[in-house]
Amino acid sequence: MMKKTTLNSLAALAAAAALPVHAESAPTESAISYRFSQYQESDLPEERTFSETTERYAIDVHQVGYRRPLAGDWYLRSELQYETMSGASPMQTYQNAEGQSVVLMSGASIDESRVDLKLAPTRYFSGKVDGSLGANLAMSFENDYQSVAVGADGTLNILDNHTTLLGSVSLSRDTLAPTDAFLSAEREAADGRMKRSFSVYQAVSQVIDQNNVIQVGGGFTRLSGYLSDPYKFEDNRPNERSQYTITAQYRRYMPVRSGAALHADYRFYSDSWGMVSNTFTARWAQKLEAGAVDFHITPMARYYRQTQAKFYSLNIAPPEGDFSSSDYRLSSYASINLGLEARAAYKRWELSFDFQQYLADEDMMIIQVPESETPALVDYTVVSVGIEYKTF
């Protein structure tokens, strides 16, 4: 299905963000892993749904990963992902005659699948130049959507390895082929259309002392092509979008039990559609030892807040030709995300478990709360279990 879900990022769900703090060398271990994740959206309230269907998406994700050293200082990471999706999605949100926001759902349950493949070789350097240079290829295949992305990233350690420069660049091209294009003018207009993106990110990481590391960075993304959603009614968006981000990360080591670290992250975002968001994330990464077994427990809390796109509208029949969308992802709202990650390592084996609960509501914005409700905002739960075996 064309909808890009939060499951696209599940591969990184289990890893608390790490900052480079010393000279890099090529990993020497090989490992194979499997992870199963289940994503479940909460049903919509019946009294605010103008259709019989209130059930939303349920997604199962299977991920198989393999990583190993190659010749010299090369290292390869790869992942194959298979995803199945069922459920319904909002097609339009509008205000009825009583002034209430009502959601029109897609109706019959949708059953779709997707296959993703990722390859990422990396070359590590040490000696006169300390750092790494990598490339990545990602391909995604669905019955109505195909995507190909390529990119490169690198790090450079300087000043006695106390400072690390980081950078990345990526390009992607997506091809749309909406299911049953004959059913609507929006789908026919999108059939065969493309969406392109160009992204660049730069950052610097600095070791303050043996217990503290900070990183600041900035990014830019340019989207162009068909950016509307052909599965939604009255959805007409600009064909260009510029996105800007500023990030800051802080890590502090704590001598608690077998070692712990406080992770504090901030992200500022704005774009040419008039949207502005702020994200605050905190984690506590705790290591515990019990004989030959190492445990890592990481609780997480995140607060997110965004303002709506300038063309977001609940008008059931916007003027023809005007930019307009009732997509809840373009509305003003805030969310809270709570999670817990647990890992247990014994010799060559590692087991992992992740849980996340996501809640979104316009009232969570605290200030500048919008007058119109957004009943299509999604609440969801993600549960993941994984296993990894180091072959050598």
What are the percentages of helix, strand and coil residues in the chain, rounded to 5? Answer: 5, 60, 35
C-alpha span between 101 and 99 (Å, rounded): 7
What is residue 85's three-state secondary structure? strand
Within the chain, which residues score under 70 in pLDDT?
1-24, 107-109
Cα distances (Å, whole numbers) of residue 176 to 117, 188, 223 = 19, 10, 15
**pTM, full prediction:** 0.90
In this prediction, residue 19 carries a pLDDT of: 65
CA dihedral 185, 188, 190, 191 (to 10 degrees): 170
User: 25-30 long-range CB contacts below 8 Å, 24 or more apart?
Assistant: 25/73, 25/124, 25/126, 26/69, 26/73, 26/74, 26/75, 26/122, 26/124, 27/67, 27/69, 27/75, 28/69, 29/69, 29/390, 29/391, 29/392, 30/66, 30/67, 30/68, 30/69, 30/390, 30/391, 30/392
DSSP 244-269: EEEEEEEEEEE-STT-EEEEEEEEEE
pLDDT at 127: 84
Provide CATH code, domain 6-390: 2.40.160
* In contact, 263 and 16? CB cutoff 8 Å: yes
What is the residue extent of each domain of the chain? 6-390
Per this entry, what is the length of the chain?
A: 392
C-alpha to C-alpha distance for 90 and 377, rounded to whole angstroms: 10
Whether 151 and 171 have beta carbons less than 8 Å apart is answered as yes
pLDDT of the residue at 344: 98
Q: Give the model's pLDDT for residue 9.
A: 29
Interatomic CA distance for residues 193 and 144, integer angstroms: 11
Coil vs helix vs strand at 362? helix
Q: Is 72 exposed, middle or buried (0-12, 13-18, 19+ CB in 10 A)?
A: exposed
